[in-house]
Amino acid sequence: MDPITALLEKVLIEIGPHDSGEPASYIPELAESDPNLLAFGVVGPRGRVMTVGDDGAEFTIQSMSKPFVLALALHTFGREAVFARVGAEPSGEPFNAISLEAGTGRPANPMVNAGAIATTSLIPGADIDERTAAIVAMMSAFAGRSLWIDESVYASESATGDRNRALAHLLKSYGIVEGSVHDAVETYFRQCSVLVTVRDLAVMAATLAFGGRNPVTRERVVSERVARDVTSIMASCGMYDFSGEWMLRVGLPAKSGVSGGVMAVAPSQFGVAAFSPRLDAHGNSVRAQAIVAMLSDRFGMHLLEPHESIAAPGISVQESAAGPVVRLGGELGFAGAERVLSMLREIVTAAPNAAVITVDAAELARSHPAAVMVLQTEIDSMAPRVRLLQ
Ligand code: GLN
């Protein structure tokens, strides 16, 4: 067994015995799920998928669909049009609360049901099937395989979904939902009934973690900006009225679903997903949360953990016949540019007058335009002694 899977197995053994909480009962089909199922997985930058436990178990995506429908809405209409209909503020209320802004009726955010129904209602399509197909296609691109719907969970949710219908009617009365309330709600129920495994969810989370590019298929699914917007909303609102505490303790943008899944995004590091059907009072899986919390702690994934590399690009200096060549590698951010400039000044001072100093930025994995601009300006001021290769 490889060392990372061995670490995951250890977490599984530690979390396994926890048996508090109950599967969701308000959707009859979900109450039938085996409460003992337990699985989780991670996907790293090179698209390696590592899963442990009952990783073949399929479950419905439920509220973990919400980030992907938000991604589709942002991809289709852009940020301003979407956030004119739905807010970006944590509601501090349960997932099914009537969290609407006084006066406008705008739902608090796209992660609570009211906001998710509003977001779903934006997705274009002639009927429920067409809209659902667009949503499932987007989710499938995130997962890297064709996903489909569990019709019995959909039927069960539609038969008992009066609270969501009431929310949708309220949204219609404020003009937030336009068109058919029935179509908006049924499309929402269908998106919640898409079947996934922890592997799928971990790949979906990883696609967000790696800026909208699926690390397994290498397909660009959404732009970096859309991925960042979705992840930002998950960070502030993904765990409902536990979102603030979650950020404090776990520090990862995440989204839970009443089927018992939790997926989390460690930007540029990992996509994470865990599944266990027993839920706490917030409707979040007890063991899935505990697993993500433990992984965040053990793998150092808290978002606000300090990192050196962004401020310290790789710098190596080689001598050539013309003069020193300063090669940059890794990531050049704004803070890193400052470090490069001070090194460069030292090199220029030390080099003989006739030497031409070359700064070779061609091998940078990533650079921020502001950092490049600062570097370029400084190098221009030192011309012709210093030149930049990009
Ligand atoms: N389909 C569920 C509902 O609307 C989703 C809720 C959830 O997963 N928190 O009630």
- Give domain limits for the chain: 3-299, 309-389
Q: Whose CA is nearest to atom 4 of ligand 1?
A: 113
- Which of the four pLDDT bands, split at 50, 70 and 90, describes residue 83? very high
Task: Please give the pLDDT value at position 101.
Answer: 87
For the segment 379-388, the average pLDDT, to the nearest whole number, is 91
SS (H, E, C) the chain: CCHHHHHHHHHHHHHCCCCCCECCCCCHHHHCCCCCCCEEEEECCCCCEEEEECCCCCEECHHHHHHHHHHHHHHHHCHHHHHHHCCCCCCCCCCCCCCECCCCCCECCCCCHHHHHHHHHHCCCCCHHHHHHHHHHHHHHHHCCCCCECHHHHHHHHHHCHHHHHHHHHHHHCCCCCCCHHHHHHHHHHHHCEEECHHHHHHHHHHHHCCCECCCCCCECCCHHHHHHHHHHHHHHCCHHHHHHHHHHCCCCEEECCCCEEEEEECCCEEEEEECCCECCCCCEHHHHHHHHHHHHHCCCCCCCCCCHHHCCEEEEEECCCCEEEEEEEEECHHHHHHHHHHHHHHHHHCCCCCCEEEECCCEEEECHHHHHHHHHHHHHHCCCEEEEC
Task: Please give the pLDDT value at position 352.
Answer: 86
Spatial distance between the Cα atoms of 26 and 23, rounded to a whole number of angstroms: 9
Lowest mean pLDDT among 28-37, 110-119, 273-282: 28-37
Largest CA distance in the chain: 82
Spatial distance between the Cα atoms of 65 and 220, rounded to a whole number of angstroms: 19
Mutate to test the pocket of ligand 1, among 96, 109, 239, 285 (most ligand atoms within 8 A of CB): 96
Spatial distance between the Cα atoms of 290 and 287, rounded to a whole number of angstroms: 5
Q: Give the end-to-end CA distance of the chain in Å, rounded to a whole number.
A: 42
For the segment 118-128, the average pLDDT, to the nearest whole number, is 97
Torsion of CA 148, 282, 274, 116, to 10 degrees: 30
Torsion of CA 169, 174, 175, 179, to 10 degrees: 10
Task: Please give the pLDDT value at position 246.
Answer: 96
Topology of the domain comprising 3-299: Beta-lactamase (3.40.710)
Q: Whose CA is nearest to atom 2 of ligand 1?
A: 62
Closest C-alpha among 308, 286, 368 to residue 332: 368
For residues 123 and 32, which has the higher predicted lDDT (pLDDT)? 123
Spatial distance between the Cα atoms of 283 and 220, rounded to a whole number of angstroms: 32
Q: Give tens-digit pLDDT for 173-203.
A: 999 999 999 999 999 999 999 999 999 999 9
Q: For 318, phi and psi rounded to 5 degrees? A: -125, 150
Pocket of ligand 1 (CB under 6 A): 62-63, 95-96, 113, 157, 164, 192, 257-258, 283
Q: Give tens-digit pLDDT for 316-350.
A: 999 999 899 999 999 999 999 999 999 999 999 99
Please calculate the CA angle 56-38-92 and round it to the nearest 5 degrees: 115
pLDDT of 390 above 90: no
For the segment 265-269, the average pLDDT, to the nearest whole number, is 96
Residue given tokens 């997962």 in the structure block: 143
In the chain, pLDDT over 70 holds for what percent of residues?
Answer: 100
Topology of the domain comprising 309-389: Transcription Regulator spoIIAA (3.30.750)
Span from the CA of 56 to the centroid of ligand 1 (angstroms): 22
Span from the CA of 110 to the centroid of ligand 1 (angstroms): 12
Amino acid at 137: A
pLDDT of 90 above 90: yes
For the segment 1-26, the average pLDDT, to the nearest whole number, is 92
Task: Please give the pLDDT value at position 68.
Answer: 98
**Ligand 1 atom index nearest CA of 193:** 1
274 beta partners: 40, 262
Span from the CA of 343 to the centroid of ligand 1 (angstroms): 54
pLDDT of 354 above 90: no
Closest C-alpha among 279, 262, 62 to residue 161: 62
Task: Please give the pLDDT value at position 310.
Answer: 76
Task: Please give the pLDDT value at position 341.
Answer: 93
Catalytic residue numbers read 63, 66, 188, 240, 258
On whether the CB atoms of residues 51 and 199 are closer than 8 A, the answer is: yes
pLDDT of 311 above 90: no
Q: Is the dihedral of CA 66, 108, 115, 176 positive or negative?
A: negative
Closest C-alpha among 336, 390, 331 to residue 362: 390
How many CB atoms neighbour CB 298 within 10 A?
A: 12
Q: For 177, phi and psi rounded to 5 degrees? A: -90, 125
For residues 309 and 113, which has the higher predicted lDDT (pLDDT)? 113
In the chain, pLDDT over 90 holds for what percent of residues?
Answer: 85
pTM for this entry: 0.94
For the segment 360-370, the average pLDDT, to the nearest whole number, is 92
- Burial of 5 (C-beta count, 10 Å sphere; 0-12/13-18/19+): middle
380 token code pair: 């221009």
Distant-in-sequence, close-in-space partners of 281: CB < 8 Å, separation ≥ 6? none
Give the number of residues written for the chain: 390
Span from the CA of 192 to the centroid of ligand 1 (angstroms): 7
